[in-house]
Amino acid sequence: MKPQTQPDQPRAVPGLRERKKARTKAAIQREAVRLFREQGYAGTTVEQVAEAAEVAPSTVFRYFATKQDLVFSREYDLPFSVMFQAQSPELTPIEAERRTIRSMLEDISEEEMALQRERWILIVSEPELWGAGLGSITQSMRVMSEQVAKRAGRDPGDAVVRAYSGAVFGVMLQVSLEWAEDPDMDFATALDEALECLEGLRP
């Protein structure tokens, strides 16, 4: 019997101020990624990013604490955690993961998806960024382990939880790297199909 899904909860509509801040942040990151691709990461300054985004350098640092943060965005960690925990307890862990990710990707515009792909291209092409990216990946995987442990009623340090989270995150990383090399890839579909292969694996 197919488990019933809970109805989607109405989502709060951001206010004008929040939307303006989101647009400013997106514009800064978009210009940063563009300049990094054109001039190289090391050859681009924060001042140049600010000028391209038509903001002050202090505004750049208001949204991004460091230059590396212009590339490594972990803004999806919190939404993922909230949506993952809201999934029906009748779902298997992989089903909950897949539904959460599908829902999040549906809310991302084509422009934002294009930006995310450019970020991955940068990360794999710039040795300095690839090294720094391991730290960001580790933090995101820690968030996933904590959320999986919470849902399964286990400790985040449990070997089974860590193995499960590592497998899921490994699939996500592999698909993301393939996406960086293939502009025609349907990222959402490829990721969902790859995660489906892990069905049966659970903490």
Q: How many CB atoms lie within 10 A of CB 106?
A: 8
Tens digits of per-residue pLDDT, 34-71?
999 999 999 999 999 999 999 999 999 999 999 989 99
Q: Where are the domains of the chain?
A: 15-69, 71-203
Residue 2 has pLDDT above 80, yes or no: no
Q: State the Cα torsion 173-174-179-180 to the nearest 10°.
A: 70
Q: State the Cα torsion 111-113-115-120 to the nearest 10°.
A: -170
pLDDT band of 121, cuts 50, 70, 90: very high
CA 100 to chain centroid: 12
Four-way CATH pick for 71-203: 3.40.50.720, 3.20.20.100, 1.10.357.10, 3.90.1330.10: 1.10.357.10
Q: How many CB atoms lie within 10 A of CB 187?
A: 18
Type of residue found at 134 = L
Residues 133-153: what's their mean pLDDT? 87
35 contacts 49 by C-beta, under 8 angstroms: yes
- Distance separating alpha carbons of residues 19 and 34, to the nearest angstrom: 22
> What is 15-69's CATH number?
1.10.10.60
Residue 11 has pLDDT above 70, yes or no: no
pLDDT above 90: percentage of residues in the chain: 58
Give the length of the chain: 203
Is pTM, for the whole model, over 0.85?
Answer: no
